[in-house]
Amino acid sequence: MPREQYQTKLEALRDDVLYMSELVADRLQTALDALARHDAALGETVITGDTEVNELYLELEQRCTDLIALQQPVAGDLRFIAASFKIITDLERIADLATNLGRYAGQADHEVSPDVDVQQIGDDTLEMLDLAMTAYGESDPDRCYTVASRDDDVDAACEAASDHVVRDLIESDYAADPETTMEHVSRLLLTVRDLERVGDHTVNIAARALYMIENDDELLY
């Protein structure tokens, strides 16, 4: 393959990985909106839309495999392709977590621990995803470290939210309908857990981007 055509394929891969991230971010934002509105129909659009993300993931996975198998890239190009392969995996998993949130939307009870700000945690993870993908797209190592630092804040917020939910449960009078109350509490705890996992996947993306840019595995774990 001529060098120019090979470089064009690499640039196309970068553009399409960035497109996938936009698609996933849109799914996550829609899921958060569905939760905020208690909108089961909107949540369902996230679930049904996951097929598009999965199909794009499989297409990009095949392209990464072909580039490695057929072109035998070395050094920076190999790190770029390998990073892209790992990043689309994390993006696909974020999309799966968004579908979980979409499922919770129609069943969420806003009266359970109303002081827990799920939307703020969600906004923070969306900002982290944007930072991580910008780091990948613009080869910016500083943003990689920013994502890792922001994840500490998200983890702390998720831990505080979970503690708050449990404390509210202990202090509440739920004897009238304990089964329903426990369902709502469990669902809220799952929502917080899934958002924390979104943050973890954005750190994975930032770590792969840093390795791609500087051959630095400091953030890999």
Q: Could you tell me how many helices (H) and strands (E) the chain has, helices first?
A: 6, 0
What's residue 132's pLDDT? 98
Provide the token pair at 218: 């400091």
Contact 31, 103 (CB under 8 A): no
Q: Which of 58, 57, 52, 29 is nearest to 42 (CA)?
A: 29
> CA 47, 205, 137 angle in degrees (round to 5)?
100
Contact 15, 30 (CB under 8 A): no
Strand positions, DSSP E, 131-175: none
What's residue 39's pLDDT? 92
Over the chain (221 residues), the average pLDDT of each successive run of 10 is: 79 97 97 92 95 96 92 86 97 97 78 79 97 97 96 95 82 60 84 97 97 87 68
Q: Which DSSP string do the residues of 86-134 spell out, in sequence order?
A: HHHHHHHHHHHHHHHHHHHHTT--TTSSTT--HHHHHHHHHHHHHHHHH
CATH of domain 3-214: 1.20.58.220
What's residue 218's pLDDT? 79
Provide the token pair at 140: 């910016």
Provide the token pair at 104: 């919770």
All structural domains of the chain with their residue ranges? 3-214
Q: How many CB atoms within 10 Å of residue 22?
A: 13
